[in-house]
Amino acid sequence: MKNIEIDDDLYLHIVANTQSIGENASSILRRLLKLDQKASIDESLVQEITAVTSPDDIADNVMDLAEKSEIEALDNSTESVFNFINKEELAMQRGAVGRFLLILAALYRAHPQRFKVVTEICGRDRLYFANSEAELAASGSSTKPKQIPESPFWVLTNSNTTRKKMMLTRAATSLGYNDADVEKIRELL
């Protein structure tokens, strides 16, 4: 084990990509860096708990668990997008933009609390997701911002279908979907 020092925003980015309670930094980083996972999630959890020695550590751990449980209770994290997708409605959309918004709305409804991580997804200079029309409009020209239905988030809409699929892929991945599910989501568009 090594200790490294990183900026706060990087730290938050890593935390935002946690996929299971108690997942450690190495596991998250391996996934983000697309490296092979060394051990299964369960094992890493066991190791982490086993490693706890001092009373302080125990306290920290309890705090962490309490915090995460709370987050999980607020977030509908047992739900998956697929419960919120209405295929009829999707099929009825005239263009890719309509389907795009519907899929994002479903993702939001399935993960209202964690959805904010998508805010980190962006292009070279344009923002892809934001909390207001103005933010997106300001990040480029003719970005065509649209509100994600029934949510406080906005998305950029001026892109080709390939890029819209990419945005979906990135959003679903950030929200913890595995490759198979991400593929299913991407196919909806």
Binding site for a second copy (CB under 8 A): 1-14, 24-26, 29-30, 32-33, 35-36, 38-41, 45-46, 48-50, 52-53, 55, 57-58, 61, 74, 76, 89, 92, 94, 109, 112-113, 116, 119-120, 122, 131, 150, 152
Judged by CB under 7 A, which stretch of 14-22, 25-33, 129-137, 161-169 contacts DNA?
A: 161-169
C-alpha closest to that of 133 among 117, 144, 149? 144
For residue 68 the two structure tokens come to: 């995460």
Contact of residue 77 among DNA, a second copy, none (CB under 5-8 Å per partner type): none
Which residue is it, tokens 């103005």?
134
Query: Distance between CA 24 and CA 37 in Å, rounded?
Result: 12
Query: Which of 14, 24, 158, 186 forms a contact with DNA (CB under 7 A)?
Result: 158
Contacts (Cβ under 8 Å, ≥6 apart) of 112: 74, 75, 76, 151
Query: Which of 69, 131, 161, 178 forms a contact with DNA (CB under 7 A)?
Result: 161
Query: Distance between CA 157 and CA 97 in Å, rounded?
Result: 7
**Interface with DNA (CB under 7 A):** 34, 94-98, 122-126, 140-144, 146, 157-163, 166
